[in-house]
Amino acid sequence: MNVLVTGGAGFIGSNLVRSLVAAGERVRVLDNLSTGSERNLARTNGSVELRIGDVRDPDAVRDAVAGIDVVHHLAALPTVARSVADPIATNDVNVNGTLNMLVAARDAGVRRLIYASSSSVYGDTPSLPKHEEMAVVPQSPYAASKLAGEVYCRGFTRVYGLETVSLRFFNVFGPRQDPMSEYSAVIPLFARGMLHGRPPRILGDGLQSRDFTYVANAVQACVLAAEAGSPAEGESMNIGCGERITLLDLVEELNDLLGTDHEPAFGPGRVGDVRHSLASIDKAERLIGYRPLVRLREGLGQTIAWLESHEREPAS
């Protein structure tokens, strides 16, 4: 099968690419390397075709989908904080880029497109767990852009017959997630700092909770969604673990795994962040057969091991 992964040099994308290559798929990557890196595609035995291009460029997208059976559309400008700082760029990449991809996939006869959405579409609704029948109330430009992409996917399935599946990822973490960016996610940021003897800095009171999802679970969901039956077409579904932990308890887990005793520092909360996040994964289990393979503590251990290795050998 010929597979295109947009954003394939990024965090989730590169983990997916490695899994697809290991399964014997023919993989092409489209990435502008703005947040991804060619280093993330190292050790794939030269079997990945990397095309450096931008999803905002219709010509680059059209060329990338030629001869492709399945598209995993993971390219995006990530994070709530970045979207608050630059909503126009977020919309341009996440909405216009997604529309470019859908049009090109439709015209090229692609069988199915898997779209990486986000749990942020639910906003800060107090009901837990979050389930797909709830109202979506995005409260940041990033969340709005991800919801817009879902709606476009659903529309292309209904109107043009392009099979789409939208996956609402809940706080994905793991190897090859950048711990150095000002927009770094909390687990690599905390873990790397603590490895170097720095206390983690929590924005808010630390009682906010998240359903952290190890990247192997997200990769599994992408693979399952590509092969799922027709009931999944045009649908959006949660991809998480169905468990949540506060940031204070996360620090304790990391301390235990690292053998450290860091007390967190605190700062003001961030605009657009939600208070609590917890996924109902019943729909994904029913429609694509998804069940999480790796739980939080195991995933944290694997992430720490990768960070330690990465400090010694950046190309890992």
Domains by residue range for the chain, with CATH: 2-170+214-241+273-293 (3.40.50.720)
Judge contact between 143 and 120, C-beta under 8 A.
Answer: yes
Neighbour count for residue 109 (Cβ, 10 Å): 12
Question: CA 109, CA 140: separation in Å to the nearest integer?
Answer: 34
pLDDT 10s digits, 133-165:
999 999 999 999 999 999 999 999 999 999 999
Give how far Cα 105 sits from Cα of 108, 162, 164, Å: 5, 8, 10
- The tokens for 57 are 């460029």
Tokens, residue 64: 């990338």
Give the model confidence (pLDDT) of 205-249 as tens digits: 999 999 999 999 999 999 999 999 999 999 999 999 999 999 999
Q: Is 214 annotated in the active site?
A: no
| This prediction's pTM | 0.94
Annotated catalytic residue, options 122, 142, 214, 290: 142
